[in-house]
Amino acid sequence: MEHNALLFIVGVIALALGFLIAKMLERNNASQIIKRAKKSAQGILKEAKSEGESIKKDKILQAKEKFIELKAEHEKVILGRDKKMNDAEKRTRDKESQVSGELSRNKKLNQSLEDRIKDYDKRLEYVDKKKAEAEKMHQSTVQQLEVISGLSAEEAKSQLVTTLKDQAKADAMKHVQTSIEEAKMTAEQEAKKIIINTIQRIGTEEAVENCVSVFNLESDDVKGRIIGREGRNIRAIEAATGVEIIVDDTPEAIILSCFDSVRREVARLSLHKLVTDGRIHPARIEEVVQKTTRQIEQEIVEVGKRTVIDLGIHGLHPELIKAVGRMKYRSSYGQNLLQHSREVAKLCSVMAAELGVNAKLARRAGLLHDIGKVPDTETETPHAILGMQWAEKYGEKPDVCNAIGAHHDEIEMTSLLSPIVQVCDAISGARPGARRQVLDSYIQRLKDLEEIAFGFQGVKKAYAIQAGRELRVIVESEKVNDDKASSLSFEISQKIQTDMTYPGQVKVTVIRETRAVNIAK
Instruction: Kindly write down the DSSP assignment for every residue of 210-233, as one continuous string.
Output: -SEEEEE-S-THHHHHHH-GGGHH
3-state secondary structure of 286: helix
Q: Tell me if 408 is assigned to some domain.
A: yes
Please tell me whether residues 291 and 396 are part of one structural domain: no
pLDDT in tens, the chain (521 residues): 566 777 778 777 878 887 888 777 777 777 788 888 788 888 888 888 888 888 888 888 888 888 888 888 888 888 888 888 888 888 888 888 888 888 888 888 888 888 888 888 888 888 888 888 888 887 877 677 666 655 566 666 676 677 777 777 667 776 666 766 666 666 555 665 566 556 555 544 444 445 667 777 777 777 777 878 878 888 888 888 888 888 776 677 788 877 777 788 888 888 888 888 778 888 888 888 888 888 888 888 888 888 888 888 888 888 888 888 888 877 766 677 888 888 888 888 888 888 888 888 888 888 888 888 887 666 678 888 888 888 888 888 888 899 888 888 888 888 888 888 888 888 877 655 445 544 566 677 788 888 888 888 888 888 888 767 788 888 888 888 888 888 888 888 888 888 887 666 788 888 888 777 787 87
Please tell me whether residues 25 and 123 are part of one structural domain: yes
Q: Tell me if 62 is assigned to some domain.
A: yes
353-359 LR contacts (CB < 8 Å, sep 24+):
354/194, 354/197, 354/198, 355/194, 355/416, 355/420, 357/416, 357/417, 357/420, 358/417
Write down the pLDDT at residue 324. 86
For residues 451 and 447, give the distance between their C-alpha atoms in angstroms, rounded to a whole number: 6
Residue 454, domain extent: 441-512
For residues 142 and 153, give the distance between their C-alpha atoms in angstroms, rounded to a whole number: 7
Please tell me whether residues 374 and 467 are part of one structural domain: no
Please tell me whether residues 449 and 418 are part of one structural domain: no
- Residue 397's nearest CA partner among 372, 353, 363 is 363
Q: Tell me if 176 is assigned to some domain.
A: no
For residues 388 and 369, give the distance between their C-alpha atoms in angstroms, rounded to a whole number: 8
Which of 250, 268, 297 corresponds to the end of one domain?
297
Q: Tell me if 141 is assigned to some domain.
A: no
Q: How many other C-beta atoms are found inside a 10 Å radius of the C-beta of residue 185?
A: 10
Q: Tell me if 79 is assigned to some domain.
A: yes
Please tell me whether residues 317 and 425 are part of one structural domain: yes
Write down the pLDDT at residue 149. 59
Amino acid (1-letter code) at residue 165: K
Q: How many other C-beta atoms are found inside a 10 Å radius of the C-beta of residue 84?
A: 10
CATH code (residue 326) = 1.10.3210.10
Please tell me whether residues 37 and 125 are part of one structural domain: yes
For residues 146 and 154, give the distance between their C-alpha atoms in angstroms, rounded to a whole number: 10
How many structural domains does the chain have?
Answer: 4
CATH code (residue 454) = 3.30.70.1350
Q: Are 343 and 307 in contact (CB under 8 A)?
A: no
Q: Tell me if 162 is assigned to some domain.
A: no
Q: Tell me if 390 is assigned to some domain.
A: yes
Q: Are 473 and 489 in contact (CB under 8 A)?
A: yes
Phi, psi (degrees; rounded to nearest 5) at 480: -125, 120
Please tell me whether residues 339 and 288 are part of one structural domain: no
Which of 102, 132, 162 corresponds to the end of one domain?
132
Please tell me whether residues 331 and 401 are part of one structural domain: yes
Which of 252, 270, 297 corresponds to the end of one domain?
297
Please tell me whether residues 425 and 453 are part of one structural domain: no
Please tell me whether residues 426 and 317 are part of one structural domain: yes
Interacting residues of 218 by C-beta distance below 8 A, sequence separation 6+: 252
Helix axes 261-277, 232-241, angle to 10 degrees: 140
Q: How many other C-beta atoms are found inside a 10 Å radius of the C-beta of residue 521?
A: 3
Q: Tell me if 518 is assigned to some domain.
A: no
Please tell me whether residues 346 and 288 are part of one structural domain: no
Write down the pLDDT at residue 55. 87
Please tell me whether residues 426 and 316 are part of one structural domain: yes
